[in-house]
């Protein structure tokens, strides 16, 4: 059994750790509330924009002619991996790394695959085995629609220049504070919209349906990336809050166990001292 000095030192250390994890949990909870509110408000807009684009596309005869819908033989692939810049979030970043590796080994086996990472943690691991074309870790310093739109425009330009035949996004989708779902979405080329064949729209379009669709597609792509990053940010705070909650609970249990061991050792020490005093008194009397 450890001596009393060692136990006191461990109790102090565990208590300090517990205070840190508890503080991090409260900070993450506050950030989660803001991020969750943002993604909750954004999803209806993103969904409605997609529905509008689908409805308009369904009424057009043949191909919309969009350059972003060009289907090519898939040889060169870009995977946009969205993680975080900080750790202590459980399996949040590890799941993204596993998802990227699974994509490369299965769906894109034998293809020329490159990565564009958003978030330092996944980049630090993936750079050891994959070709990373670019890092966008600084985006979290100013995460807003304007800065994300710039990244989306760069991705669209890379596709138009035929640098890549397919671009996909992989990120953690926010479900609740305890659950994050690793999600893979095709970014480019845009997938064919499928709607009810009997859809009818009694609207007057200016300048025209085709022009509106071509204008909506870039906006929809930018919103898709922004929603993915906002989802990932909310999922990150939820994962970190949950991880710090578990760490605080574990630290509390460990501290209580150490205190019990300390009290037992202290009691044993006191008992030994009493026995020595009693033994010494009896020796003097004899």
| Model confidence, pTM | 0.83
| pLDDT tens digit sequence for 185-206 | 999 888 766 555 555 556 666 7
Q: 155-168: per-residue pLDDT in tens?
A: 999 999 999 999 99
Torsion angle, alpha carbons of 50, 168, 147, 120, to 10: 140
Mean pLDDT, the chain, integer: 85
Token pair 């997609």 is found at 50
Summarised one tens digit per residue, pLDDT across range 104-147 is 999 998 899 999 999 899 888 998 888 888 888 888 888 889 99
Determine what percent of the chain is predicted with pLDDT higher than 90: 44
CA within 13 Å, CB half, 234? 24
Q: Report the pLDDT value the prediction gives residue 63, as an integer from 0 to 100.
A: 55
The pLDDT score that the predictor gives to residue 67 is 82
Burial of 209 (C-beta count, 10 Å sphere; 0-12/13-18/19+):
middle
Q: Which two tokens stand for residue 15?
A: 């208590």
Q: Please tell me the predicted confidence (pLDDT) of residue 191.
A: 74
Half-sphere exposure of 93 (CA within 13 A, CB side): 18
Q: What's the pLDDT score for residue 62?
A: 55
Quote the tokens at residue 150: 């710039």
Task: Supply the pLDDT for residue 199.
Answer: 53
HEC letters along the chain: CCCHHHHHHHHHHHHHHHHHHHHHHHHHHHHHHHHHHHHHHHHHHHHHHHHHHHHHHHCCCCCCCCHHHCCCCCCEEEEEEECCCCCCCCCHHHHHHHHHHHHHHCCCCCCEEEEEEECHHHHHHHCCCCCEEEECHHHHHHCCHHHHHHHHHHHHHHHHCCCCCEEEEEEEEEEECCEEEEEEEEEECCCCCCCCCCCCCCCCCCCCHHHHHHHHHHHHHHHHHHHHHHHHHHHHHHHHHHHHHHHHHHHHHHHHHHHHHHHHHHHHHHHHHHHHHHHHHHHHHC
> What's the pLDDT score for residue 177?
82
Specify the pLDDT at position 195. 52
Q: What is the pLDDT of residue 212?
A: 75
Residue 236's pLDDT is: 93
CA distances in angstroms from 63 to 49, 56, 59, listed in the order given: 19, 12, 11
For residue 211, the model assigns a pLDDT of: 77
So what's the pLDDT on residue 241?
93
- The pLDDT of residue 134 is 84
The dihedral of CA 185, 190, 196, 197: what is its sign? negative
Domains of the chain with CATH codes: 4-24+244-274 (1.10.287.80), 31-242 (3.40.1380.10)
pLDDT of residue 155: 93
Kindly report, residue by residue over 54-106, the tens digit of the pLDDT.
Answer: 666 666 655 555 788 888 889 999 999 999 998 888 899 999 999 999 999 99
State the pLDDT at residue 194.
Answer: 58
């Amino acid at each position: 059994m450890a001596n009393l000095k060692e136990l006191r030192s461990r109790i102090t250390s565990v208590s300090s750790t517990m205070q840190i994890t508890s503080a991090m949990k409260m900070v993450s909870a506050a950030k989660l509330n803001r991020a969750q509110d943002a993604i909750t408000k954004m999803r209806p807009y993103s969904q409605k924009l997609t529905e509008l684009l689908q409805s308009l596309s369904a009424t057009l005869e043949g191909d919309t002619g969009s350059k972003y819908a060009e289907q090519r033989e898939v040889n060169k692939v870009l995977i946009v991996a969205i993680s975080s810049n900080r750790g202590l979030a459980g399996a949040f970043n590890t799941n993204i790394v596993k998802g990227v590796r699974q994509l490369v080994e299965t769906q894109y086996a034998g293809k020329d695959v490159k990565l564009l990472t958003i978030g330092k943690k996944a980049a630090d691991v993936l750079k050891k085995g994959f070709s990373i074309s670019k890092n966008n870790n600084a985006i979290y310093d100013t995460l807003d629609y304007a800065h994300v739109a710039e990244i989306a425009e760069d991705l669209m330009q890379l596709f138009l220049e035929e640098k890549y035949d397919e671009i996909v996004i992989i990120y953690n989708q926010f479900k609740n504070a305890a659950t994050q779902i690793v999600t893979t979405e095709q970014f480019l080329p845009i997938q064919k919209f499928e709607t009810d064949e009997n859809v009818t729209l009694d609207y007057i379009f200016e300048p025209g349906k085709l022009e509106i669709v071509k204008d909506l597609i870039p906006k929809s792509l930018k919103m898709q990336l922004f929603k993915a990053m906002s989802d990932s940010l909310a999922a990150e705070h939820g994962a970190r809050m949950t991880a710090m909650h578990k760490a605080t609970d574990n630290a509390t249990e460990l501290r209580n166990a150490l205190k019990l061991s300390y009290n037992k050792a202290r009691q044993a020490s006191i008992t030994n001292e009493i026995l020595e005093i009693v033994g010494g008194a009896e020796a003097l009397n004899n």
